[in-house]
Structures are given as structure tokens and as C-alpha cells.
Structure 1
């Protein structure tokens, strides 16, 4: 099999490694993304972008149910706007800043 891409990465004492940027880009994964490893009979390892599974988290589900019930029981207390002073302070602290949430991450990223 001819490789389209070859990269190397070191495994740490804790068994962790960095997925090189070019591999992340080829797989279409970014920070927080998931990858799946497959090992065949010849002990070759394949890496793919993991399929997204909708898994229910019982703790989150119960918390969201609690919030929904609280909002119904206390409609005027459950949701409140931020105090103006907090919004003004946030505006001062972030004045002149620009953030591109879709920008690529430069360099290697350890996950």
C-alpha cells in the first residue's frame, strides 16, 4: 500500500501521543474531535475519524430536566439578564480583540 501521508509521533510515559497537524487535517478532526484506531491481523494500525454517537449522559439529562422544571415553576427567576456593569466590564476587557473561531490551530496539539 502506498502511503499518501507519513508522519511520526512519540509516545509518552503515560501512553499519550500528539496527532500531527497534517494527520488531523487529513482526517478532518480538530480539538475535541475523536479518532478510532483499528489493528488488523498483520498488526497494522489504521486511524479514522470516529463516528459521532449520540450518547445520553444521565447526569446531564437529569440536570437539564431540573432546569426545565425550575423554569416552568419560576419563570421570572430562572432566566435573568446579565447586570449592565458586568456587560460593560466585559466590553472594556475585550475591546479591540478579534477572535476567529474557525481559524486553524498552528502546530501540534496534544489531546
Structure 2
């Protein structure tokens, strides 16, 4: 790790990469950043020195504007045309199930070169 000028460290920690290039954020870091597992996000910034700055991502940054626009469109359309809302037809559900049948995902396997 490179020395960062004029920076005081409150918390230091290390973690190891798994074969899937994943890591666990150490408890001391999660507590310092007040991260809630399954809820909060983190942001990574790579400094010119090669060091990485990890910070808690603000909720405003977490917004997916495309998804938000789509959901707003759906909500408005449902309000304007409530009679058009229909349950998914069983044939469509069965077709979707057939498209994913036999696909197994093993999260403990390393990612392929194409997936990285």
C-alpha cells in the first residue's frame, strides 16, 4: 500500500479474494461505514497511486434512473387504465419456466473468462 499524504487512518483491515474474485468486507470496515448487509452499497475509486478508496454509496447515487423512469411509466399507466391490468397467463409462465429449465448455477464455481 502506498503512503497517502495527510491522511489519518481510523480503521485498517485486510481481506482475501475468493476464486470468484469476491471478498468479504471486514466487520470493522462495515461498522465504520455503517453498512447494512443486503441494503447498502459501496463505491470504489482507484487513485492514481494504485490505492483503492472504498466509501459508502449515498442513496441518491444508488438510483437507477432508467428503472425509475420505467416504474413511473408503469405506475401512471396502471392509474390511467386499471382495467388493463391482468394476471399473467399460465402459458406465458410455463414458457418462461421452459426457457430456464435445466440451468444450474453454482455460486462456488469460479467465473469463466467470458463472465469476468
TM-score using structure 2 length: 0.50
| Distance (Å, rounded) in 2 between the aligned partners of 1:30 and 1:67 | 33
Higher relative contact order (CA 8 A, sep 6+): 1
Deviation at 1:36, TM superposition (A): 0.9
Deviation at 1:64, TM superposition (A): 1.9
RMSD: 2.6
User: Number of residue pairs matched?
Assistant: 74
Aligned ranges for residues 76-91 of structure 1 at < 5 Å? none
| Distance (Å, rounded) in 2 between the aligned partners of 1:34 and 1:6 | 19
Partner of 1:55: 64
| Distance (Å, rounded) in 2 between the aligned partners of 1:64 and 1:13 | 42
Aligned ranges for residues 4-43 of structure 1 at < 5 Å? 4-31=10-37, 32-43=39-50
TM-score using structure 1 length: 0.52
1:1-59 Cα distance to aligned partner (Å, 9 max, x none): 45321222121122211112221121122122111111212211111111323332144
